[in-house]
Amino acid sequence: MTPSQHEQERNSPQDASVVPFGMRVAGAWSWRVGAILLVSAMLVWLLSQITILIIPVMLAAILASLLRPLVRGLKKIGLPQGLSVAIAEVGLIVVVLGGLFLVGRQMVTGFSALSEQAIQGVIKIQEWLTNGPLGISNDQINKYLNEALAAVQNNSSTIISGALGFGSGFTHFAAGLLLTLFILLFFLLEGQDIWAFIVKFFPLRARPAVDGAGRRGWRSLGNYARVQILVAAVDAVGIGVGAAIIQVPLALPLGVLVFVGSFIPVVGALVTGAVAVLLALVANGWVNALIMLAIVLAVQQLESHLLQPFIMGRAVNLHPVAVILAVAAGSGVAGILGALFAVPLLAVTNSFIRYIAERGWENDPLLPDIYGLTPVPAGPPAPEAPSDVEHGPDKP
């Protein structure tokens, strides 16, 4: 057999049977999944480099989904579009600044009493270290304190650079806050026009599907934001009122901290609950801390067994495992802000994909007037098409 015949035999289609069918299918799936993962990783890396732009857009979208019903209500009573948007955004700013002012006053008033209690707590700890089972002398304690002070002095450059980084971070925060308010203004004023402009980037045949999926995702985002505010408010009221009843100082700022932390599912509740218990321990001792721990556990059980399954589950339809993984991935990519926005982003993506997979645009009442579609009436399923075995592959 000549070399050319060997080459023809090696390239013949029959050689495909040498590779098992399962291996060919696995190979076909592997390169496609690998390409998707590679593109996704590149997209995540690109977005992580421009978080100063992405985070304000996402925050403005969440705020717009919350304020949109208020704007519609103001328009129904006869106010112009611009005035309605101005009232909604200015009202949001006033509420936030008023809350910060109230919390700041409470913190200034409470820190003086808390500082005295903290000093007494440190003295008690020192007495326990000296007279307790450890038997550490005052000279040893002073030695450890001097070593800690020397370590701080030797790392003064690191501390200064950290302080400068905090100043730079505050500047970025202020710039992001202004950008968020600016974007929010136009989301409320021209949100429909902005979305219509984005939809035009897609092919004509795909526009109904993209438009309907985007509307479904927007509705899911609004549901998530409203339900999450309700859950956070329940957590804040439960822990804040409990702390006030057992006379833990800074109960109001603690409630606000719990409210903000509850927007990070699972992780936020654990961290803010630990802060509440630690504050009770420093201020009032072990017994008060154990009571505070019982209050925190009771509130978290209420959230996990009642609020999350029956309210949050119906709003976003996400499994708890998916929520945990989303929070972990978001915190790894963009820190606290990533953890904060991971779940709403996952909720929107879930609604978007479900809408596309179910071909929801074929029977969406919001789309026929825009694209001239006719809703598909509900009826019996269509009969199955004849198989190729009966009619042959070349016949219709």
Q: What is the pLDDT of residue 374?
A: 55
Cα distances (Å, whole numbers) of residue 298 to 231, 311, 355:
14, 18, 37
**Residue 229 banded pLDDT, cuts 50, 70, 90:** confident
Note whether 303 and 174 are same-domain residues.
no
Q: Are 296 and 276 a contacting pair, CB within 8 Å?
A: yes
Is residue 190 assigned to a domain? yes
Note whether 190 and 243 are same-domain residues.
no
Sign (positive or negative) of CA dihedral 304, 226, 223, 45: negative
Note whether 187 and 227 are same-domain residues.
no
Is residue 132 assigned to a domain? yes
Q: What is the pLDDT of residue 125?
A: 62
Q: What is the pLDDT of residue 392?
A: 40
Q: Are 250 and 276 a contacting pair, CB within 8 Å?
A: no
Tokens of 26: 């696995």
Residues 6 or more apart in contact with residue 169 via CB below 8 angstroms: none
Q: What count of other Cβ atoms lies within 10 Å of the Cβ of residue 60?
A: 20
Percent of residues, the chain, with pLDDT higher than 70: 66
Tokens of 116: 């005295």
Note whether 278 and 181 are same-domain residues.
no
Note whether 108 and 224 are same-domain residues.
no
Is residue 391 assigned to a domain? no
Task: Identify which has the larger pLDDT, 114 or 264.
Answer: 264
Asked whether residue 15 carries a pLDDT value surpassing 60, the answer given is no
132 Ramachandran zone, left/alpha/beta (phi>0; psi -120 to 50): beta
Q: Pick from 16-20, 216-220, 275-279 the range whose average pLDDT is largest.
A: 216-220
Note whether 190 and 232 are same-domain residues.
no
Average pLDDT over residues 316-338: 74
Q: What is the pLDDT of residue 219?
A: 87
Q: What is the pLDDT of residue 78?
A: 86
Asked whether residue 365 carries a pLDDT value surpassing 50, the answer given is yes
Average pLDDT over the chain, rounded to an integer: 75
Is residue 39 assigned to a domain? no
Total domains in the chain come to 2
Note whether 95 and 209 are same-domain residues.
no
Task: Identify which has the larger pLDDT, 269 or 206.
Answer: 206
Is residue 3 assigned to a domain? no
3-state secondary structure of 387: coil
Cα distances (Å, whole numbers) of residue 84 to 50, 58, 75, 222:
32, 22, 6, 19
The Cα 225–Cα 230 span in angstroms is 9
Q: What count of other Cβ atoms lies within 10 Å of the Cβ of residue 267?
A: 15
Q: Pick from 53-57, 84-88, 225-229, 335-339 the range whose average pLDDT is largest.
A: 84-88
Angle, helices 251-261 vs 81-131, to 10°: value is 120
- Worst-scoring range by mean pLDDT, 170-184, 309-323, 342-356? 309-323
Q: What is the pLDDT of residue 117?
A: 61
**Residue 379 banded pLDDT, cuts 50, 70, 90:** very low
For residue 80, the enclosing domain spans 51-153+165-201
How crowded is the C-beta side of 211, counted as CA atoms within 13 Å? 27
Task: Identify which has the larger pLDDT, 45 or 291.
Answer: 291
Is residue 82 assigned to a domain? yes
**Nearest to 235, CA basis, from 329, 317, 320, 311:** 311
Task: Identify which has the larger pLDDT, 105 or 65.
Answer: 65
Q: What is the pLDDT of residue 126?
A: 63
Is residue 385 assigned to a domain? no
For the entire predicted model, the pTM comes to 0.67
Asked whether residue 43 carries a pLDDT value surpassing 50, the answer given is yes
Percent of residues, the chain, with pLDDT higher than 90: 1
Is residue 329 assigned to a domain? yes
Note whether 249 and 266 are same-domain residues.
yes
